Amino acid sequence: LSFDPTAFEISVGDTVLWEWTGNGHNVKYDDGEVPSGTDWEGTEGGRTETYGEGHVHFYTFETAGEYTYYCVPHRSSGMTGRFTVTE
């Protein structure tokens, strides 16, 4: 299981879209894995809330920096990703 792509770069003001192609996934991060000042919280709901095929999550990033995220149920299987938001 993996995010595709697993790493990418965008500019401030760009929107990222995650689209589910399977069931039981989410997008979350731990403290310190995103820049301070961002209000992005990952997917809606708590850490155990997951979504199924066809769900989409999108966000327009306004805070530059490095972001690391993962799918809570599949993190130990390597379902992680990262991206950089540049000015």
H-type alpha helices, the chain? none
Percent of the chain with pLDDT over 70: 100
Pick the closest to residue 28 from 48, 9, 14 (CA basis): 48
Please tell me the distance from the alpha carbon of residue 46 to that of residue 68, in angstroms, as a whole number.
18
One pLDDT digit (tens) per residue for the chain, 87 residues: 999 999 999 999 999 999 999 999 999 999 999 999 999 999 999 999 999 999 999 999 999 999 999 999 999 999 999 999 999
For 7-86, CATH number out of 1.10.150.20, 2.60.40.420, 3.40.640.10, 3.40.50.2000 equals 2.60.40.420
Predicted model pTM? 0.93
Q: Give the per-residue pLDDT at 84.
A: 99
Helix (H, G, I), strand (E, B) or coil at 70: strand
Secondary structure letter of residue 25 according to DSSP:
B
Count Cβ neighbours within 10 Å for each residue of 11-36 and write b for 16 or more, e otherwise. eeeeebebebeeeebbbbbeeeebee
